């Protein structure tokens, strides 16, 4: 698959070109079309389903989008322009306009006649939707009825009313969870008046699920999705990663300023400087587990802000047991190292408090962001470790300072 | 959606029960069926498509699986037992056995007659596969041909030979990437002799993609997928998370033993104890970015082991620039704090070296695991930070020791 990367599109058939484009990322698409004229681009991508065409068009700047669209079949270009208006992260932005909808008063014969004329790509999901005179969604007819009922049957009489649809403004994550719940291969997207606008097929959903998973990783590790390709320009990778790292160091400096305040304690008991990284690392790890749980839980639709108290109570007990076990472990190791029971006690107590607090910080950051309806697209992972470092250092150093005469 | 969690299945219709089960995780399924007899379970899940039935059955121990299967329709139970034999992470483990395949010598009339008799669920994807006398896959026939060609047409004459299939042993990740490349709604799964065994539909793929994304998070943060539900028993969460944390602390102790060796340096220049957490945190972050890039790159099929040198060269330059920028930043801050240019120099040099090494460690861990064909199901994130802590501490303390007279 890797050898596709630097492929010369010219040697490929139209179908191969399309297959390649479907799995390419934005930097690959830009690279490939750099020296290609808008009319040639239009020729290659014009035959793609509307939703995939939109995904590729979105890589280009507005002016170039217009140029490409001018070279595409007028009717299709009109539909695609409309699709470009929907938010990328909504059901509207995921849908394709290739679907079959018929007025309830037509006969099976009309439907079959239309299918005969359509290109085979038009309705890959083979659901046939039924609408009223206002284009409002009434139901769906099955392939079986279509084949087995007399051709003169009016479709109003064979429609199934139990059709499930999603509003075009539903966000991508919720749409994906909706699909997961009902195992449909396609779901119609409707507007406020229940008029059918397009369909989302299950393959679009798996694409969306991948993007969501990548977004979660951005939140957690500060890697951008544009940066996930080894073909992305180095300047892009640097532009995406460096500002975040530079900012993160400022956060770190705030955290270590606590250490600077307690320099006297460290000078008196250097062993504390050995202990500190263990405590900050372990509280970081504990916090990350809680953070991951909540971020993925929201993404998979397994939790909502209503679960706040349940998550809180759960964490109270989890943090308690984790803190006790790790506190005892470090207390024992510290005692064995210095043969000073008070040093062991300080180490254990500092670990317990830091772990307990870190667990709450880990669940609170994403819960809080969700609660104030901010999409945590910011890297919450680094913020977490800065807070856990800060509390870990403060607890360890202030406990050590209090017990300084016993542990010196 | 959250209110579904503690639902009493008894009050739901069969369809609602099935919708609920589809989105439930293993601990919810266990909880719900705790007091339900095998025959009642069979009644509820017996009507599910075979692939979903298998997913639910896998939650139960072998003995209970047999009891449930004894209460399911014999023909279906036989098929499901076979599906249970495939590896969960292969195309065989993802497929359903509900598909339509016809011998090449039958007529359209026979196909339509079969569709009339089948339940509507049988062939959700509406692809009709054509096989020879040995059940080997020959091609596919389109809905359009089915409706528009004369009923006496033998299907051999209208089949499209360009059918894409996957071998049953293909792993889940590769299968998902295959779907992503071609936008089919279903792909047939075949054995070594090209005989059709089942089909995978696009909705199964998005489920697989979610599981893969979660597996990546396990590698990175040490959260298990069983643990991703807030309804999972506390003991399960502790059993999954605690051993890993306890082990991690031992790794940490190894890392900080370096600090213990250099206690003299810290006592002489306490400012080094302030610097160390900044350097270890920043190298951890840089390493994580590389790690995430490679882990997700493999999952999305964007990179392979063949790209080793390309990734290596790329990281050489990325690490260089990142190291220089962050090195200068910390050198400036350290200088402004102590007004000692040598202290700034030590801080900057230590940061540069640590960042440069951490970047390589981040990409090497997953590349190495992939190269020796080990699935990095182990938590690679904690291993990474232990190595980056170790190198960061060692570099900082040894540089500071060398320059001790200048920075004191």
Distance, CA of B93 to CA of B103 (rounded, Å)? 25
* pLDDT at res. B219: 62
What length does chain B have? 408
* pLDDT at res. A10: 67
CB contact under 8 A, B271 and A285: no
What is the torsional sign of CA B193, B198, B202, B206? negative
Residue identified by tokens 């997953």 is B366
How distant is the Cα of A395 from the closest Cα of chain B, in angstroms?
15
Distance, CA of B348 to CA of A57 (rounded, Å)? 44
A92 domain-assigned: no
Residues spanned by the domain of A186:
100-218
The angle at the Cα of A62, spanning A61 to A67, to the nearest 5 degrees, equals 100
Chain B CB within 8 Å of residue A389 CB: yes
Strand partners, B134: none
B224 domain-assigned: no
Considering only the beta carbons, identify the residue of B223, B237, B249 that sits closest to A282.
Answer: B249
> Most confidently modeled of A114-118, A159-163, B313-317, B340-344?
B340-344
Crossing angle, helix A14-23 and helix B172-181, to 10 degrees?
Answer: 130
Instruction: Tell me how crowded residue A59 is: count the other CB atoms within 10 A of its CB.
Output: 16
- Looking at the fold, whether B247 and B378 belong to one and the same domain comes out as yes
pLDDT along chain A (408 residues), means of 10: 49 75 74 81 83 84 87 86 85 87 92 75 68 92 78 89 88 83 83 92 81 69 64 77 80 84 89 89 86 78 82 90 94 93 96 96 87 64 83 94 89
Chain B CB within 8 Å of residue A403 CB: no
pLDDT digits (tens, 9 = 90+) for B268-296: 888 898 899 889 888 988 888 888 888 77
Q: Say whether A123 sits in a helix, a strand or coil.
A: coil
HEC-encoded secondary structure of chain B: CHHHHHCCHHHCCHHHHHHHHHHCCHHHHHHHCCCCCHHHHHHHHCCCCHHHHHHHHCCCCHHHHHHHHHCCCHHHHHHHHHHHCCCCCEHHHHCECCCEEEECCCEHHHHHHHHHHCCCCCCCCCCEEEECCCCEEEEEECHHHHHHCCCCCEHHHCCECCCCCEECCCEHHHHHHHHHHCCCCEEEEECCCCEEEEEEEHHHHHHHHHHHHHHHHHHHHCCCHHHHCCCCCHHHHHHHHHHHHHHHHHHHHHHHHHHHHCHHHHHHCCHHHHHHHHHHHHHHHHHHHHHHHHHHHHHCCCCCHHHHHHHHHHHHHHHHHHHHHHHHHHHHHHHHHHCCHHHHHHHHHHHHHHHHHHHHHHHHHHHHHHHCCCCCCCCHHHHHHHHHHHHHHHHHHHHHHHCHHHHC
- What is the CATH classification number for the domain harbouring A10? 1.10.220.30
> Most confidently modeled of A82-86, A142-146, B178-182, B298-302?
A82-86
Nearest alpha-carbon partner for B94 in B181, B187, B23: B187
- Looking at the fold, whether B332 and B392 belong to one and the same domain comes out as yes
Considering only the beta carbons, identify the residue of A277, A306, A381 that sits closest to B276.
Answer: A277
Considering only the beta carbons, identify the residue of B3, B300, B318 that sits closest to A238.
Answer: B318
Q: Say whether A138 sits in a helix, a strand or coil.
A: strand
Residues 6+ apart with CB under 8 A from A273: A266, B259, B263, B266, B273, B276
Chain B partners within 8 Å of A13 (Cβ): none
Distance, CA of B196 to CA of A305 (rounded, Å)? 46
Largest CA distance in chain A: 98
Distance, CA of A397 to CA of A404 (rounded, Å)? 10
B167: confidence class by pLDDT, cuts 50, 70, 90: very high
- Looking at the fold, whether B275 and B192 belong to one and the same domain comes out as no
Among A18, A217, A382, A408, the residue to mutate for chain B (most B Cβ within 10 A):
A217
Which residue does chain A place closest to B151, by CA atoms? A147
Token couple for A91 = 């059901």
- Looking at the fold, whether B261 and B357 belong to one and the same domain comes out as yes
Considering only the beta carbons, identify the residue of B124, B180, B217 that sits closest to A206.
Answer: B180
Considering only the beta carbons, identify the residue of A144, A230, A266 that sits closest to B307.
Answer: A230
- Looking at the fold, whether B257 and B198 belong to one and the same domain comes out as no
- Looking at the fold, whether B239 and B354 belong to one and the same domain comes out as yes
B1: confidence class by pLDDT, cuts 50, 70, 90: very low
Mean pLDDT to the nearest integer, B51-64: 84
Which residue does chain A place closest to B217, by CA atoms? A292
B8 domain-assigned: yes
Residue identified by tokens 């010196």 is A408
CB contact under 8 A, B181 and A230: no
Higher pLDDT, B149 or B130: B130
Phi, psi of A196 (to 5 degrees): -75, 130
* Mean pLDDT value across chain B: 83
- Looking at the fold, whether B194 and B312 belong to one and the same domain comes out as no
A173 domain-assigned: yes
Instruction: Tell me how crowded residue A25 is: count the other CB atoms within 10 A of its CB.
Output: 16
CB contact under 8 A, A115 and B148: yes
A227 domain-assigned: no
B391 domain-assigned: yes
- Looking at the fold, whether A182 and A292 belong to one and the same domain comes out as no
CA B79 from centroid of its chain's CA atoms: 27
- Looking at the fold, whether A238 and A190 belong to one and the same domain comes out as no
Chain A partners within 8 Å of B307 (Cβ): 2, 230
pLDDT digits (tens, 9 = 90+) for A110-146: 988 887 777 655 555 567 899 999 999 999 887 777 7
Phi, psi of B154 (to 5 degrees): -80, 135
Residues 6+ apart with CB under 8 A from B53: B45, B46, B76, B80
Cα end-to-end span (Å), chain B: 62
What is the torsional sign of CA A139, A143, A149, A151? positive
Strand pairing class (B128-131; B137-141): antiparallel
Distance, CA of A406 to CA of A341 (rounded, Å)? 9
Examine the fold and report which residue of A167, A191, A218 is the final residue of a domain before the chain moves on: A218
What length does chain A have? 408
HEC-encoded secondary structure of B22-54: HHCCHHHHHHHCCCCCHHHHHHHHCCCCHHHHH
Considering only the beta carbons, identify the residue of B229, B267, B282 that sits closest to A249.
Answer: B282
Nearest alpha-carbon partner for A332 in A343, A319, A320: A343
A278 dihedral zone (left: phi>0; alpha: psi -120 to 50; beta): alpha
Residue identified by tokens 């509820």 is B44
Helix (H) or strand (E) holding A12: none
Quick one: CA torsion of A381, A385, A386, A388, rounded to 10 degrees?
140
Cα end-to-end span (Å), chain A: 62
Examine the fold and report which residue of A85, A111, A137 is the final residue of a domain before the chain moves on: A85
Examine the fold and report which residue of B160, B187, B218 is the final residue of a domain before the chain moves on: B218
| Inter-chain CB pairs, A–B, below 8 Å | 344
Chain B CB within 8 Å of residue A233 CB: no
A95 domain-assigned: no
- Looking at the fold, whether B61 and B116 belong to one and the same domain comes out as no
B93 domain-assigned: no
Mean pLDDT to the nearest integer, B385-393: 89
Among A249, A256, A260, A287, the residue to mutate for chain B (most B Cβ within 10 A):
A249
- What is the CATH classification number for the domain harbouring A149? 3.10.580.10
Which residue does chain A place closest to B5, by CA atoms? A302
Which B residues in the span 170-229 are in contact with A, Cβ-Cβ below 8 Å?
176-177, 179-186, 201-203, 205-207, 209-210, 212-214, 216-217, 220-223, 227-229
* pLDDT at res. A120: 56
Nearest alpha-carbon partner for B181 in A198, A15, A46: A15
DSSP at A128: E
Chain A CB within 8 Å of residue B88 CB: no
- Looking at the fold, whether A256 and A386 belong to one and the same domain comes out as yes
Which A residues in the span 23-62 are in contact with B, Cβ-Cβ below 8 Å?
23, 25, 49, 52
Number of domains in chain A: 3
- Looking at the fold, whether A377 and A248 belong to one and the same domain comes out as yes
Mean pLDDT to the nearest integer, B361-385: 76
- What is the CATH classification number for the domain harbouring A261? 1.10.357.20
């Amino acid at each position: 698959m890797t050898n596709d990367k630097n492929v010369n599109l010219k040697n490929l058939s139209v179908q191969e070109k399309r297959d390649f484009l479907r799995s390419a990322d934005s930097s690959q698409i830009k690279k490939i079309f750099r020296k290609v004229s808008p009319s040639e681009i239009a020729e290659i991508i014009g035959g793609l389903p509307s939703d995939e065409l939109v995904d590729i068009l979105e890589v280009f700047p507005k002016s170039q989008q217009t140029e490409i669209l001018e070279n595409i079949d007028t009717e299709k270009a009109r539909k695609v322009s409309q699709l470009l208006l929907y938010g990328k992260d909504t059901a509207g932005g995921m849908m394709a306009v290739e679907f079959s909808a018929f007025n309830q008063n037509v006969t099976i014969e009309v439907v079959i006649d239309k299918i005969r004329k359509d290109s085979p790509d038009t309705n890959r999901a083979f659901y046939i939707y039924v609408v009223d005179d206002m284009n409002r969604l009434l139901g769906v007819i099955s392939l079986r009825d279509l084949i087995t009922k007399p051709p003169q049957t009016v479709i109003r009489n064979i429609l199934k009313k139990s059709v499930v649809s999603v509003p075009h403004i539903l966000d991508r994550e919720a749409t994906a969870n909706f699909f997961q719940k009902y195992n449909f291969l396609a779901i119609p997207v409707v507007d406020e008046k229940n008029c059918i606008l397009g369909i989302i097929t299950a393959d679009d959903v798996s694409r969306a699920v991948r993007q969501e998973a990548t977004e979660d990783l951005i939140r957690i590790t500060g890697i951008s999705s544009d940066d996930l390709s080894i073909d992305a320009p180095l300047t892009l990778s640097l532009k995406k990663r460096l500002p975040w790292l530079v900012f993160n160091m400022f956060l770190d400096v705030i955290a270590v300023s606590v250490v600077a305040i307690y320099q006297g304690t460290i000078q008196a008991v250097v062993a504390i400087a050995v202990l500190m990284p263990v405590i900050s690392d372990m509280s970081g790890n504990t916090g990350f587990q809680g953070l991951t749980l909540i971020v993925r839980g929201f993404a998979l639709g397994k939790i909502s802000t209503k679960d706040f108290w349940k998550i809180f109570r759960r964490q109270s007990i989890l943090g308690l047991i984790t803190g006790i076990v790790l506190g005892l472990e470090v207390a024992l190791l510290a005692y064995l190292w210095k043969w000073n029971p008070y040093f062991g006690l300080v180490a254990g107590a500092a670990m317990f408090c830091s772990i307990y607090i870190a667990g709450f910080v880990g669940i609170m950051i994403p819960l809080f962001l969700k609660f104030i309806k901010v999409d945590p697209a910011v890297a919450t992972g680094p913020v977490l470790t800065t807070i856990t470092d800060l509390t870990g250092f403060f607890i360890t150093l202030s406990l050590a300072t209090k017990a300084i005469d016993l542990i010196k």
